């Protein structure tokens, strides 16, 4: 079964993280990504841009109407997400708990109940 694991953040958290610690934090994340790509359980890992780069898109009269971010009413926003393909919920939970910093901030884990892959996509 496939799952999405989500990490939330906020600008205050990123601003408070010492710049000299970013390389080590990124290395820890890449080690996690490599470990679970090699088992075939990590399908993709995606880090999102800051909320200031987000856009809100609506449709009016058949055309897109775009509002630049940040538009969120909350301090927390989706910072990154991971697509997992695991044999069980328990396995997905173990992988989520193995994420760097899962001991500091929780990882939100959701089962993916429906997918509609592109016919051109590799076995994702």
At residue 10, the 3 state secondary structure works out as: coil
Distance of alpha carbon 65 from alpha carbon 28, whole angstroms: 39
Contacts of 98 (CB under 8 A, 6+ apart): 32
Q: What residue spans define the domains of the chain?
A: 2-111
Identify which has the larger pLDDT, 12 or 44: 44
Q: What is the pTM of this model?
A: 0.82
Residue 29, token pair as written in the block:
């994340």
DSSP E strands, the chain: 2-9, 42-47, 55-60, 63-68, 77-85, 108-111
Give the least confident one: 36-45, 46-55, 79-88, 93-102: 46-55
The whole-number pLDDT of residue 57 equals 87
What is the second-level CATH architecture of the domain 2-111? 2-Layer Sandwich (3.30)
């Amino acid at each position: 079964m496939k799952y999405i694991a989500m990490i939330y953040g906020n600008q205050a958290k990123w601003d408070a993280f010492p710049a000299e610690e970013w390389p080590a934090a990124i290395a820890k994340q890449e080690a996690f990504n490599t470990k679970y790509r090699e088992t075939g359980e990590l399908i993709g890992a995606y880090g999102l841009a800051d909320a200031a780069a987000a856009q809100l898109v609506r449709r009016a009269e058949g055309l897109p109407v775009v509002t630049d971010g940040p538009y969120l009413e909350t301090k927390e926003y989706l910072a990154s997400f991971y697509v997992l393909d695991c044999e069980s919920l328990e396995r997905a939970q173990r992988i989520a708990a193995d994420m760097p910093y899962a001991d500091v901030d929780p990882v939100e884990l959701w089962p993916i109940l429906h997918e509609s892959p592109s016919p051109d996509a590799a076995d994702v």
